[in-house]
Amino acid sequence: MTIVSKVEQAPSPAEGERDLTDGFHLVIDALKLNGVKTIYGVPGIPITDFGRMAQAEGIRVLSFRHEQNAGYAASIAGFLTQKPGICLTVSAPGFLNGLTALAHATTNCFPMILISGSSEREIVDLQQGDYEEMDQLAIAKPLCKAAFRILHAQDIGIGLARAIRAAVSGRPGGVYLDLPAKLFGQVMDAETGRKSLVKVIDPAPAQIPSQESIRRALDVLKGAKRPLIILGKGAAYAQADDAIQRLVDKSGVPFLPMSMAKGLIPDTHPQCAGAARSTVLKDSDVVMLIGARLNWLLSHGKGKTWGDATKKFIQIDIEPKEMDSNVEIAAPVVGDIGSCVSALLAGMEAGWAAAPAEWTAAVAKKRDENVAKMAPRLMNNNSPMDYHGALGVLRTIIAERPDAILVNEGANTLDLARGVIDMHQPRKRLDVGTWGVMGIGMGYAIAAAVETGKPVLAVEGDSAFGFSGMEVETICRYNLPVCVVIFNNNGIYRGTDVNAAGRDPATTVFVKDSRYDKMMEAFGGVGVHVTTPDELKRAVAKAMDSRQPTLINAAIDPAAGSESGRIGNLNPQSVLKKK
């Protein structure tokens, strides 16, 4: 424990003979005791000194240019490590900037703790106009899994312990921890402070499914003629990779990975149905969901996407309330994914029959047809590039470097890359998640590089990059092995829209032929401008091998792209006709 032997206030003789500590050091010691090695944040009043002290005590503190990006970094750190990522912000505006990432973490089930300094309670409660006065706890509560405020130094240990346990237990999520400025300066006896700290034991205990639920699920699966397994990012988070692969192999069932579950089992596996997505969703009769939710990303389990036939669903999830959220679940299995999959494997007798050959052959045939149809589009060397030619070479880059981490966001850039770029290892594809938010790119890329030490390829739409682009300075400052590729087609969706009503550009159009690569050069990194797939491949390969901070401005045909990528149907259409 770090000890403060003297305090600014004149101690009594008895106090002067004791070792003392304060709120600053107790928070740092509590974090260290619980294995926290990295903090993502933005310094400022009232937490500037806290960041300095944490750094001096051996915690890595990465300072960002905007709190939202620091929060996204903390959220994906939680996904990658199964430990809560820590984001540290100042009060009021800084807290609000971090709040989007906190809500994003909760929605996506990423363990994260947002720690913010705040104004003093007695002034906030009387609304007396303190510096950055705001009731932050009340604002945070609806947007996270749990929220706590610590008022007394002796409660720091238990407060942080509660935050850690809340973030990772059950269905993981975001937690808010409010630390008023006065807390940091509170002084107490060092030995008493040490004893007040709590090391969290077994924060995410296994939740064993009932044997009845396992038997029911296996009975439903056994009766299927056209079964399908869907792997969600919850399956990737669980890190039960070997057990899930054994389940897929033993069952013989085609599997469909959601975007952040790609690579949990290699996309090149013969049972992968990613290239036959429409067919398997529509024609399957039994669907087993492993760590996937029947939300909008799966059309809520309803409608044309799923065909007319009555389907039976098996759902494996740690949250009981997730069952029957959109459609009836015939076989709910409640528990942690590792325990559930292990129990299913144990229940499959030695003579378990693989999925019907007629069905698996039909899926394989459709997959191979679609792959063959797409192949020529991925091999073009057009200038200006289209999305497929550019993604075709990035697909090769990832195949040659399967341990690299791919970060991906945008509209067309996201939707097309999801289908084109095969992933070969688990937790190597990180993208926008459940909300489909823009802006996660640079925060994710920084945390992925820091937490794993692996090279990162961030493939960004030019619009998506704009939300976090200033963090390229952060990438350069910490000399991280991140290669950013911007698909630059001069606008949102495409750069050819025209405003027929006035002189202003259309709302979706950016400055023509912008040179984003110059931004990276300005901060000491490598900037490259490319116009063909061949140039792109050479530039990315060099960047990944050199591990130098690099930004590649990839000029894409401005006319390439479509409204909202593949989700244009979610954009309301006007029913009024122009007169």
Residue 76: give its domain's CATH number: 3.40.50.970
Joined together, the tokens standing for residue 31 give 């974090």
Judged against a pLDDT cut of 90, whether residue 574 lies above it is answered with no
Same domain, 251 and 102: no
pLDDT tens, position by position, 38-85: 999 999 988 899 999 999 999 999 999 999 999 999 999 999 999 999
φ, ψ (nearest 5 deg) of residue 404: -70, 155
pLDDT above 90: percentage of residues in the chain = 88
Task: Kindly state the average pLDDT of the residues 177-185.
Answer: 95
Please report, in angstroms and rounded to a whole number, the separation of the first and last CA atoms in the chain: 74
Task: Kindly state the average pLDDT of the residues 466-484.
Answer: 98
Same domain, 342 and 258: yes
Task: Kindly state the average pLDDT of the residues 500-526.
Answer: 96
**Residue 577 pLDDT:** 57
User: Residue 284: inside a domain, yes or no?
Assistant: yes
Domain containing 142 equals: 13-196
Same domain, 342 and 229: yes
User: Residue 562: inside a domain, yes or no?
Assistant: no
Same domain, 149 and 222: no
Same domain, 186 and 281: no
pLDDT tens, position by position, 213-253: 999 999 999 999 999 999 999 999 999 999 999 999 999 99
Higher local confidence (pLDDT), 570 or 145: 145
Q: Is residue 227 packed enough to be buried (19+ CB in 10 Å), middle (13-18) or exposed (0-12)?
A: buried
CA 63, 65, 67, 70: dihedral to nearest 10 degrees?
Answer: -50
**Residue 13 pLDDT:** 45
Same domain, 360 and 383: no
| C-beta of residue 562 within 8 angstroms of C-beta of residue 388 | no
Average pLDDT, the chain: 94
| C-beta of residue 85 within 8 angstroms of C-beta of residue 76 | yes
Q: How confident is the model at residue 125 (pLDDT cuts 50, 70, 90)?
A: confident
pTM over 0.85: yes
Task: Kindly state the average pLDDT of the residues 358-374.
Answer: 97
User: Residue 454: inside a domain, yes or no?
Assistant: yes
**Residue 573 pLDDT:** 67
**Residue 130 pLDDT:** 84
Same domain, 347 and 245: yes
Same domain, 446 and 522: yes
Task: Please list the residues that pair with 87 across neighbouring strands.
Answer: 40, 114
Residue 271 three-state SS: coil
Same domain, 234 and 87: no
Q: What is the chain's length?
A: 579
Higher local confidence (pLDDT), 129 or 563: 129
| C-beta of residue 59 within 8 angstroms of C-beta of residue 36 | yes
Lowest mean pLDDT among 223-237, 317-331, 387-401, 559-573: 559-573
Residue at which a domain ends, from 330, 364, 398: 364
Task: Kindly state the average pLDDT of the residues 276-295.
Answer: 97
Task: Kindly state the average pLDDT of the residues 109-121.
Answer: 94
Same domain, 26 and 163: yes
Judged against a pLDDT cut of 60, whether residue 578 lies above it is answered with no
Q: How confident is the model at residue 298 (pLDDT cuts 50, 70, 90)?
A: very high
| C-beta of residue 236 within 8 angstroms of C-beta of residue 260 | yes
| C-beta of residue 320 within 8 angstroms of C-beta of residue 293 | no
Higher local confidence (pLDDT), 310 or 287: 287
Residue 69 three-state SS: helix
Residue at which a domain ends, from 306, 333, 364: 364
| C-beta of residue 470 within 8 angstroms of C-beta of residue 444 | no
Judged against a pLDDT cut of 50, whether residue 579 lies above it is answered with no
Same domain, 420 and 303: no
- The CA distances from residue 407 to 73, 99, 447, in Å, are 12, 22, 11
User: Residue 244: inside a domain, yes or no?
Assistant: yes
| C-beta of residue 48 within 8 angstroms of C-beta of residue 117 | no
Same domain, 67 and 94: yes
User: Residue 525: inside a domain, yes or no?
Assistant: yes
User: Residue 3: inside a domain, yes or no?
Assistant: no
User: Residue 239: inside a domain, yes or no?
Assistant: yes
User: Residue 157: inside a domain, yes or no?
Assistant: yes
Look at the chain and report how many structural domains it folds into.
Answer: 3
**DSSP secondary structure, 227-245, as one string:** EEEEE-HHHHHHT-HHHHH
Type of residue found at 369: E
